[in-house]
Amino acid sequence: MRKKIKLSVGPGIEVEEIILRDGRWVLSARAAGERSCPVCGDVSTSRHDWHRRRLQDLPVQGTPLVLDLRLGRWRCLNERCNRKTFVERLPSVAAPMARRTVRVAEIVRLFGHAAGGLPSERLLARLAMPISDNAILRQLKRHVRERADSAPLRVIAIDDWSWRKGFTYGTIIVDLERRTVADVLETRSAKETANWLARRPEIEIVSRDRCGLYAQGIRQGAPQARQVADRFHLLQNLREAIERQMTAVSCFGGRSRLPPAPGDLQLVLRRRNRDAREQMFGQAKALHASGKSCVAIAAEIGIGRGTIAKWVEADSLPDRRRVTLKPSSPLYFQEFLARRWAEGDKIGRRLFHDVRHRGYKGSRSHLERLLSEWRRVERPETSGRREPTIESRAIDPATGWQISPVVAAALCMKPTRMLTHSQAAKVAVLKEASPSFVVMRGLAMRFRGLLRGADPDKLGSWLDDASHSGIHALQQFARILARDIDAVRNAIAEPWSSGQAEGQINRLKTLKRAMFGRAGIELLRARMQPLQ
């Protein structure tokens, strides 16, 4: 079937004929494109030969179409040029060496960016534009590599995402002003973050979570930028601190009602845990003497059957096994630290530096916990030292079960106007049972008001009150905030946050799972960044 028609395919193209061959249209055309040498730019007037290009174009009535172009091959008349001949170019129709027209390539990129490889292959086949999934992804990644850099960045958010949760992490950077992904990095490290920021000196504000790696990378790569701690993560860290405190209260208040003991809270907790174990040991021996089996004793006391079997055979409560010491524990270097301590070197920073050179792999805070015990032994006892307050179990009036630390921490952070009737009843029980809960709830409500009030001058008084509250978890939280005080003050004063980054991470997880293991860093970056 042959038919002479007049059809406009693009500028400089003259259609000669269109033929239906092997289930697809073949459109033959002659083109007159640019005759300038791609190397030196000189325009040629000497034709060498003809060249044919076969390009995939948009389908016609559900039938694929192939554009068969005849282009001129020209000689380069510049003797200094390394190029001897070249083919006419049609940048508005097809890129050099391309197998598809510009409009088809754009549709392929849009499909690949939105749906991925295999779904796009199936959809394009239904639209009469057959192309393999590998070609779709390859063209998308090539387009991202070759396109120009995006507009300058001023305000960004930086956060981590997991390749494999708990093992390997990457980094995502979001443009907060345009609400788009600026880049996706393969690893989570201070060095890579600093290198990326150093190439963009125009950045003024960086919003981040509480990760110390990013804080260090920002200081190294963008010292001119203001760091802003994310408000959601600040509230989350405070809730976790309250949960740790309520867990400690639940541990020594739940099993036995022992009289208060003088001394530090941590020592009191350890002593009471030991007393509670001795009480259960005596109860297990008495039940075994009455003729009950180990299974029945374990069900009644709430301890494993293996532990009960060891207890009934022992004359006294056995000591707990200590795990094998590793280089991540300061006790692994206890002999060296004790020698340095006896010599008078009691500064934690110096000792941390020395044990790191000896192979210590733990954190400084872990080492400081050991040193604080040694300092407590040397500190003289004062008569005015406050004894820890007795805490009792908080029982839910609706169920009769003890309120868990997770629920207690969540209720401690929730304003009164947002509480339901059952939640308000739980809060009342917690206030009555735990005096520390009353203090923590008051400080939590003040902290929420600080983050919403845009007045960073009030932060100092809140930190002082938390430090002198007598609650270990809040004191530790206040110390950590003081180390990052500038970023916390900016979180109160600035409107920016990392919420947009969290949403983009959810999108990244969806894409990563939808690609069934083919989500390499180059392809993730191509699909996360907006197409230009």
Does 488 fall in a domain? no
pLDDT of res. 345: 84
| 373 and 433, same domain (yes or no) | no
Please, are residues 51 and 15 in contact by the beta-carbon 8 Å criterion?
no
| 426 and 335, same domain (yes or no) | no
The CATH number of the domain holding residue 201 is 3.30.420.10
Choose among 256, 247, 253, 265: nearest CA to 412.
247
Q: How many domains does the chain have?
A: 5
Residues 6+ apart with CB under 8 A from 142: none
Domain boundary among 62, 80, 99: 99
Element (H, E) at 73: strand 63-75
pLDDT of res. 13: 81
- What is the arithmetic mean of pLDDT over 401-407? 89
pLDDT, the chain, mean: 85
Backbone angles phi, psi at 126, to 5 degrees: -70, -25
| 25 and 70, same domain (yes or no) | yes
Does 373 fall in a domain? yes
Does 489 fall in a domain? no
Backbone angles phi, psi at 20, to 5 degrees: -90, 110
Per the model's pLDDT, the better-predicted residue between 413 and 288 turns out to be 413
| 431 and 372, same domain (yes or no) | no
CA distance 76 to 47: 9
**Planar angle of CA 162, 163, 166, nearest 5 degrees:** 55
pLDDT of res. 256: 35
| 15 and 88, same domain (yes or no) | yes
Quickly tell me which residue has 């795990």 as its tokens: 323
Does 401 fall in a domain? yes
Domain boundary among 350, 378, 406: 378
| 523 and 466, same domain (yes or no) | no
Lowest mean per-residue pLDDT among 14-18, 25-29, 248-252, 406-410: 248-252
Give the ranges where 39-186 is alpha helix by DSSP (H).
102-115, 117-126, 133-146
Does the pLDDT at position 150 exceed 80?
no
10 Å Cβ neighbour count for 272? 18
Per the model's pLDDT, the better-predicted residue between 382 and 335 turns out to be 335
CA distance 435 to 420: 22
DSSP structure class, residue 219:
H
Token pair in block for residue 48: 């060498």
The most confident of 32-46, 228-242, 315-329, by mean pLDDT: 228-242
| 359 and 271, same domain (yes or no) | yes
CA distance 456 to 449: 11
Element (H, E) at 156: strand 155-164
Quickly tell me which residue has 């009480």 as its tokens: 279
pTM equals 0.69
DSSP letters for 271-327: HHHHHHHHHHHHHHHHHHHTT--HHHHHHHHTS-HHHHHHHHH-SSPPPPPPPPP-T
CA distance 290 to 285: 9
| 287 and 304, same domain (yes or no) | yes
Does the pLDDT at position 435 exceed 80?
yes
Quickly tell me which residue has 């055979």 as its tokens: 313
- What is the arithmetic mean of pLDDT over 375-391? 58
Lowest mean per-residue pLDDT among 25-34, 341-350, 380-389, 511-520: 380-389
Lowest mean per-residue pLDDT among 144-148, 242-246, 356-360, 368-372: 144-148
Domain boundary among 337, 353, 378: 378
CA distance 371 to 91: 71
Choose among 137, 145, 188: nearest CA to 163.
188
Does 246 fall in a domain? no
pLDDT of res. 241: 93
Does the pLDDT at position 12 exceed 80?
no
CA distance 312 to 281: 8
Does 166 fall in a domain? yes
Q: pLDDT-derived band of residue 257, with 50, 70 and 90 as boundaries?
A: very low
Does 386 fall in a domain? no
Please, are residues 463 and 481 in contact by the beta-carbon 8 Å criterion?
yes
pLDDT of res. 390: 59
| 211 and 110, same domain (yes or no) | no
Does the pLDDT at position 253 exceed 50?
no
Alpha carbons within 13 A on the beta-carbon side of 239: 16
CA distance 340 to 352: 12
CA distance 278 to 258: 13
Element (H, E) at 486: helix 485-493
| 259 and 369, same domain (yes or no) | yes
Query: Residue 226 belongs to what domain range?
Result: 155-230+497-528
Quickly tell me which residue has 């919003």 as its tokens: 207
Q: For residue 149, with 0-12 CB atoms within 10 Å meaning exposed, 13-18 middle and 19 or more buried, which class applies? A: exposed
Does the pLDDT at position 391 exceed 80?
no
pLDDT of res. 447: 94
Does 189 fall in a domain? yes
User: What are the pLDDT digits (tens) for 49-58?
Assistant: 888 889 999 9
Lowest mean per-residue pLDDT among 85-99, 130-144, 317-331, 394-408: 317-331
- Report CA-CA distances (Å) from 432 to 163, 395, 399, 418: 46, 11, 17, 20
Please, are residues 312 and 296 in contact by the beta-carbon 8 Å criterion?
no
| 108 and 84, same domain (yes or no) | no
Choose among 496, 494, 497, 499: nearest CA to 454.
494
| 264 and 342, same domain (yes or no) | yes
- The amino acid that residue 250 corresponds to is S
pLDDT of res. 210: 80
